[in-house]
Every structure is written in C-alpha cells, then in structure tokens.
Chains A and B, each alone.
Chain A
Amino acid sequence: MTVEPWRAETPVARGWRIVEADAAVAIAEREAIGTSARVVVWPPEGLSPALRTVDEVLWQLDRQASRFRFDSELSRIVQSSGGCFFISEGLAELIDVALAAARWTDGLVDPTVGAALVALGYDRDFTAIEERDDPATTAPAAGYHAIELNGRLLRLQPGLELDLGATAKGLGADRAAHAAHNAVGSVGGVLVSLGGDVALGGAAPRDGWPILVADDHRSGEGGATQLIRLANGAIATSSVTIRRWRRGGHELHHIVDPMTGRPAEGPWRSASVAAHCCAEANAASTAALVAGTRASSWLEQTGLPARLIARNGRVETFGDWPERDGGSVVLTPGLSGPVTARLGRRTR
C-alpha cells in the first residue's frame, strides 16, 4: 500500500485516524476505553493538541474507573473488600457524579450494579465475553446508599462492586471536550464523542453541531435515525440493542435494572437525551430505559429534550426535542439538572 507523504507526516497523536479535514473542520477517530472515540475540531489547526489532550483524559479515566483493569484505582478498591479509602480527586469526582445521578433518578441508575453485571456474565471486557450454557444468576444492586463519599474519603461496605458506566463515559466526554478546548487556546469549538456520548467544548459551528441520532453508533442507519443540531451542552443515547450476549439460552444486554439485577425489560429499545453535561445526559437516557413504562413521566419531569424509540420502532419525543430532521436541540440554562450542578461545583 502506498502511503501518501502528507499522511505519513500528519502530526496527529499516535493511534488516531483522520476521518476528514478541510479548511473548516477536522475529524479524527480511534479505539479507546472499549469503544470508539471521535474528536471534531474547528478550526482544524487545533486537531493535534486536542487529540493529545483527549488521549491524556481517556488514559486518566481508564486508570481511575475501569472495571476491567486490575491496576485501576476502582479495581484496587473493590479488591480490598470494603473499608475506608482516600481516593484521587478524579475518582472522587466520578463517584460523586454517579451518586448525584443515582439520587436524581431515584436509583434507576445506580453505581452499585457492578455485582449484577458480573453475575450476568459481564465480568470482563465485552469483546472477551463468550456464550455460555449455564444460566446467569441475578444480584440486585446493594443500593447507592451503601456508598459514603466525603470529599476524597470513600467508605464502602464489604462485597460492594461498583460500576460507574452510566456516568463515567459521559463524564469522560465532558472532561475531554473541556480539556481539548483549553488545549487549543479556547479558540473555536471541539466535539468529543465516546461511543456515542457526545460532549461539546467552546463555540459551536454556525447553526450548531450536526449530530445523527441512532440506535448503534456504528450503523447510523435505519428508519429511526434523525439529524439534530446541538449548539451547547451534550447528548447521549442508551440502547438495549447493542452490547448483547447469550447466557443459558437467553440473550442479555448491559442496561441493568438495579432493583432486579436483570437486564431492563421495558418497552423502549433506545433513549436519547440532551443535557448541559454528558454525564447527566447519559444518566437520563439510561434511567429512561430502566424506568420502562414510567419513562415518559420521568423524562417529562426533567424537562430535558429527549427521544425514545419503542421496540416496535415508534418514536416519542419530550421537551424541546425537534420533530423535523435537522432541527435544533435547545438547552436553556433552566434545564441544568443536579448532575450538572454537582459537576460545576467540583470543577470550580
């Protein structure tokens, strides 16, 4: 294969692939934290520093919160079988945000679902999960009240397994977008997507960032997709149609109802929510799927722009979610929820 000279010399961070770059915008992608990361920057000259910064943020996130890294801070704590820990500022923020999400959703999203996921067989990186004939066991979550966090002091009950997935990836996108925008001198704007959790930093392009809303971030196809434009904040989508595996003859997925310890069985296959920060957007979209038949009332109560897709393909929208393709999702300051507020307090 002939490598064009400019591509060989492209000074982007190692591991990134340039998807597109022209006079106005640059887009790069890489595999990271078990999914794909995408960074979009305008003006395009800021791409290299943005990518280096995103790499650093993801590396930190991985070291702090990965369930599957034996040397991550979270793994070391869980292996200690409970007790009191003085944790890093980064992990403290992740747990603090996870607890804020749990309180906000009244436990629909709960960081103590780690044991439930392990019992279902999601005890390793997803790509390493193999089909097994023995039935999965269920382990209802212990409940977020079992976690005590005071600043950087964490107290865990013995046997508690944490999974920060519902908020950590979103918070990672928030951190990355913010840091990348700083890295480019706060010029222009940055979009960071971690497996479909999208956070924005800086100024949006004219008429907002055009974002496709879909079930699976790799497909981008199907009748339920919609193009929206986002000028600020973040957007996240949760879906039960992906990250599925078979165990004991049953198909399982990773959106777990903390109350039952089983995969959520509501009428919705996908939920997309826009919020002022991606951690909040992801918490809300996950909560909507777990809420099942109560999802509509819960989303209406938040006031956030949201879109649900039922298992039969029916689409239902909430808040100021645009009906038409290409419409803008508008986030007013009043829509800032408790997760965003928590994040703001910690970063000040």
Chain B
Amino acid sequence: MAQQRYNESPSSAHDDHPAPRGDARVRGVSQLRRINNWTLAALLVGVGATSAAFAHSLVTTPPAPSSALSGLGSTSTARAGANGPYLSQPVATTSGSGVSSGPTTAAGTAANPSNRAQAVAISGGS
C-alpha cells in the first residue's frame, strides 16, 4: 500500500532521467519503507505501553499506600480478614465530651479575644 503511494507520487511521473535515478528512487523507497515500518513498530509499542499504564492505574484505585504508614509499629489489635479486619481491642471511646485546651482545627484560628479563649468549642449538651 505504501509502496504504491510512493510510485504514484508526482515526482516520479515527471522524472526526466528515469534510468540513472531509478536505483536511487528504489533505494529511497526502500529506506522510506524501513522508516515507516520502524515508525509503525514504535507506535504499536507506545500504544501498548500506554494501555498497560492506564490499566494499572485503574486496578489500583484507593489512595496510594503510604510507605511511612506501613512502617509504623503494630500493637496487634487487628488482623486482616476477607470482609475487613477483626479488631480485638477498642478503637474509640464514647463518653461525655471531655475538654481539651489544645489548638482548634488546622485551619481554624481565631477565638473570641474578649473571652481569652485558647480554643473554640461547640459547647452544650453532651
């Protein structure tokens, strides 16, 4: 297909010296064919690699595992199971809300200066 297209090129149709230039043309055509084949191969490899990369990213959906977290010490309260881990020790306590004097949320800052409050709170019944 590619060869036919080159043969029909305008330059070949208006060639005044076909005999001396014939070999060169054939060599040129061959060179073009080789280049074209290499380009095709490169394209195929590229498409394949891109597809593989996309497929890989689709399979690993959750946030990327943190190497730092995986290095944390375990207190062996949990073991992984098919339907989630089994946690043997309490992970939280429900109780009347205690008080902390620490800072508020990372972004929160201002408390009422007239009240000399160091932290802000949603107060009231709990």
Contacts and interface: CB of A to CB of B under 8 A. Distances in A.
A137 B86 CA distance: 51
A70 B81 CA distance: 48
Contacts of A184: 62-63
A59 B108 contact: yes
B74 A22 contact: yes
Q: Which one of B78, B91, B107, B119 has the greatest number of beta carbons of chain A within 10 Å?
A: B91
Nearest to B115: A124
B118 A243 contact: no
Interface in A163-222: 163-166, 168-170, 172, 184-185, 187-189, 191, 193-198, 203-207, 209-220
Contact of A214 (B75, B94, B105, B123): B94
A242 interface: yes
B103 A15 contact: yes
Interface string A230-272: 0000011111111100000000001110000000000000101
B96 A24 contact: no
Given A35-B98, A189-B84, A217-B97, 18 more contacts: A20-B75, A23-B78, A24-B85, A25-B77, A31-B101, A31-B119, A42-B84, A47-B69, A58-B108, A68-B121, A124-B112, A195-B126, A196-B93, A203-B84, A206-B84, A210-B91, A213-B95, A243-B99
Interface of B: 61-81, 83-108, 110-126
Interface of A: 6-7, 9-11, 13-15, 18, 20-27, 30-36, 38, 40, 42-49, 55-56, 58-59, 61-63, 65-72, 75, 109, 113, 117, 122-128, 163-166, 168-170, 172, 184-185, 187-189, 191, 193-198, 203-207, 209-220, 227, 235-243, 254-256, 270, 272, 282, 285-286, 289-290
